[in-house]
Amino acid sequence: MQENVLVLCEYPPAQYFKLDRVIGGDYVGDWCRLPYPRHPLGCPNFGQKKKCPPKSVKWTELIQEPYYFVIHEFDLEVWVNKHRNRNYFLYQTGARKILKDFCREVIGIEEMLEPTILMQPEKNYVNVFSTCRIHGVKLEKNPQKIVKFVAMIGTKRNAVNVGEYFA
């Protein structure tokens, strides 16, 4: 895997790399039903939103190769200590905005035509953990200190009206 480092002056560096192989399938959507803190029945969006399983579209129907993963590391421990009285999950909005900025940088560097960004590729049935692992990147389950946000970029597949899906 050839890893590239991105630097946007106000953020810690991010990495991106081209994917030789993507692992995923319908089974990934089932993980949304696994219980997690304050959600004993899994994600409340499961089956409710068109961008979430089982209503969401597989990545293979939205984008085609070349595929890239962009990974932004967010220091959750520092954020929690700094914002003790705020909602614990508010950090996700800011971190995803930073990730999207990095994705735009990759699109410019790689000179991609008609790029599409999947900000949460697991919603599109990509097994992010396994795909990262085969490319030499280890993700931690339920991280307490450093959270790695992963986005996927590919070229828009012409067979799908992507604008309608992302509207």
The domain spans of the chain are 4-24+62-166
Q: pLDDT > 90: what percent of the chain?
A: 57
Q: What is the pLDDT of residue 2?
A: 56
Q: What is the pLDDT of residue 60?
A: 96
What is the mean predicted confidence (pLDDT) over 123-127? 97
pLDDT at 160 over 50: no
| Higher per-residue pLDDT: 89 or 18 | 18
Q: What is the pLDDT of residue 77?
A: 81
The amino acid present at 161, given as its one-letter code, is N
pTM: 0.83
Extended strands (E) in 61-114: 63-75
What is the torsion angle, in degrees rounded to the nearest 10, for the CA atoms of residue 110, residue 111, residue 116 and residue 121?
Answer: 0
Q: What is the pLDDT of residue 143?
A: 86
Helices (H) and strands (E) in the chain, counts: 6, 5
Q: What is the pLDDT of residue 74?
A: 86
| Higher per-residue pLDDT: 25 or 163 | 25
Pair of tokens at residue 136: 């030499």
What is the mean predicted confidence (pLDDT) over 4-10? 61
Q: What is the pLDDT of residue 5?
A: 63
pLDDT at 9 over 60: no
Could you identify the residue written with the tokens 């996700």? 92
- Tell the burial category of 55 from Cβ atoms under 10 Å away from its Cβ (0-12, 13-18, 19+): middle
What is the mean predicted confidence (pLDDT) over 41-70? 94
